[in-house]
């Protein structure tokens, strides 16, 4: 994929080193409270509990089963030859000082299968947990069959981190943490669950992820990915400052909704497709495309504040979408022709910005009625 520098035009919203906002119309993203901000103002008192097991710094060299209430006061490491099994209903509390937060490091295998009625909880030892109270759960170089199911992770620095590891997650949520879940050089399958009230919900780097039915709400950044392969089906993003952002990724988004965020879907130097997604009422833009080869089809892109589609070049194509009632339905901030034939632009017709004629938009032929709702890419 060819790389070239994008120069910001006056008034563009600058994200990092990239221009991803709508020129001259940038709106303040949806406000998201700092994780744990309210909690940290309250007196920090310990929760009342009696631990079944208590650990300081410890290496688990044999298979171990946790149940009841487990207190971790240091760094607990599961050795490469060992398996840690966590029974349904177990509550694991972490107590650490500011210099070195308590942490669970898994180099062997972890099997934590809660149930809907008896979930497994990883949390702080405080009665009112706050983001950063403990370090988190880290899978380090574990290519075994790691499974977490019906778990809640809260008040950590990084709730769940997987580095050079494989794992399957089902109905796992990270809440009120500085980073919800972070994956580096990992192979991830995730169904259900998600993140809320985190600085960054999900962060992928050099990873492969198959994601279904996730819910990310109230994070500063929902999902962020760099140099990764992301397949997301039926994801829900709402009330995030930035919902979904990928840099140099292979992306396939299918179904679901990206609604009521500050910024919607941001794709830079990426390739793939966005199909059958409801992209609505995001205060800045719905979808931003820069130096990316993306097929945009079968989507409902409506009611976004500054622009429905914000594009910077001609590498992507949009067709068979409903695009209407946005600040601008399509904003071409580049100097190349962008092709958007066969879309429904609402009864009033399209509202298009073409950068003073430098970057035209080819929007004909136009649909005379809304396209059939749903994905054009259903399996």
- What residue ranges do the domains of the chain occupy? 7-32+233-379
Angle at alpha carbon of residue 333, lines to 328 and 335, rounded to 5°: 135
pLDDT at 100: 65
What does 189-224 look like in DSSP terms, one character per residue? EEES-EEES-SEEEEEES-EEEEES-EEES-SEEEE
Single pTM value for the model: 0.86
pLDDT band at 366 (very low <50, low <70, confident <90, very high): very high
- 278-336 pLDDT, tens per residue? 999 999 999 999 999 999 999 999 999 999 999 999 899 999 999 999 999 999 999 99
Q: Whose structure tokens read 């879907």?
A: 265
* Distances 28 to 21, 22, 283, 370 between C-alpha atoms, Å: 11, 12, 8, 31
Query: Is 60 exceeded by the pLDDT of residue 8?
Result: no
Task: Identify the band that residue 73 occupies on the pLDDT scale cut at 50, 70 and 90.
Answer: very high
Quote the pLDDT of residue 374.
52
At 10, the pLDDT band (50, 70, 90 cuts) reads very low
Among residues 283, 339, 280, the alpha carbon closest in space to that of 311 is found at 339
Which alpha helices (H) appear in the chain, and where do they start and end?
37-40
User: Is pLDDT at 9 greater than 80 in this prediction?
Assistant: no
The C-alpha torsion from 15 through 19 and 20 to 23, rounded to 10°, is 120
Q: How many helices (H) and strands (E) does the chain have?
A: 1, 39
Place of tokens 């497994």: 120
pLDDT tens figures, 111-148: 999 999 999 999 999 999 999 999 999 999 999 999 99
Rounded average pLDDT over 260-268: 99
pLDDT score, position 213 = 99
Bridge-based pairing of strands 18-19 and 14-15 is antiparallel
- DSSP tag of 21: S
The proportion of the chain whose per-residue pLDDT surpasses 70, expressed as a percent, equals 86
pLDDT value at residue 37: 44
**Quick one: tokens of 103?**
């942490």
């Amino acid at each position: 994929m060819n790389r070239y520098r994008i120069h910001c035009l006056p008034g563009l919203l600058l994200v990092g080193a990239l221009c991803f906002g709508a020129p001259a119309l940038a709106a303040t993203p949806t406000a998201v409270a700092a994780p744990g901000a309210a909690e940290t103002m309250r007196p920090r008192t310990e929760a009342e509990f009696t631990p079944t097991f208590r650990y300081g710094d410890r290496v688990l060299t044999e298979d171990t089963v946790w149940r009841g209430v487990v207190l971790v006061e240091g760094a607990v490491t599961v050795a490469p030859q060992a398996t840690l099994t966590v029974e349904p209903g177990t509550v694991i509390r972490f107590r650490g000082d500011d210099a070195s937060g308590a942490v669970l490091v898994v180099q062997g295998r972890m099997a934590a299968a809660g149930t809907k009625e008896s979930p497994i909880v990883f949390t702080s030892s405080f009665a009112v947990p706050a983001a950063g109270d403990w370090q988190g759960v880290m899978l380090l170089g574990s290519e075994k069959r790691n499974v977490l199911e019906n778990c809640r992770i809260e008040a950590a620095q990084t709730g769940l981190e997987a580095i050079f590891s494989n794992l399957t997650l089902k109905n796992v949520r990270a809440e009120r943490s500085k980073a919800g879940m972070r994956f580096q050089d990992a192979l991830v399958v995730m169904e259900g669950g998600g993140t809320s009230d985190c600085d960054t919900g999900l962060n992928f780097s050099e990873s492969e992820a198959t994601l279904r039915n996730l819910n990310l709400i109230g994070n500063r950044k929902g999902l962020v990915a760099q140099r990764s392969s992301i397949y997301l089906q039926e994801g829900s993003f709402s009330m995030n400052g930035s919902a979904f952002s990928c840099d140099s990724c292979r992306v396939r988004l299918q179904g679901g909704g990206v609604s009521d965020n500050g910024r919607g879907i941001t794709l830079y130097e990426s390739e793939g497709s966005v199909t059958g997604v409801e992209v609505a009422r995001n205060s800045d833009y719905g979808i931003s495309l820069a130096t990316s080869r993306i097929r945009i089809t079968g989507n409902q892109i409506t009611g976004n504040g500054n622009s429905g589609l914000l594009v910077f070049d001609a590498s992507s194509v949009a067709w068979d979408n409903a695009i209407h009632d946005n600040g601008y339905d399509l904003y071409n901030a580049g100097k190349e022709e962008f092709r958007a034939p066969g879309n429904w632009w609402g009864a009033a017709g399209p509202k298009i910005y073409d950068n003073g004629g430098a970057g035209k938009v080819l929007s004909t032929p136009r649909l005379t009625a809304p396209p059939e709702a749903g994905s054009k890419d259903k399996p």
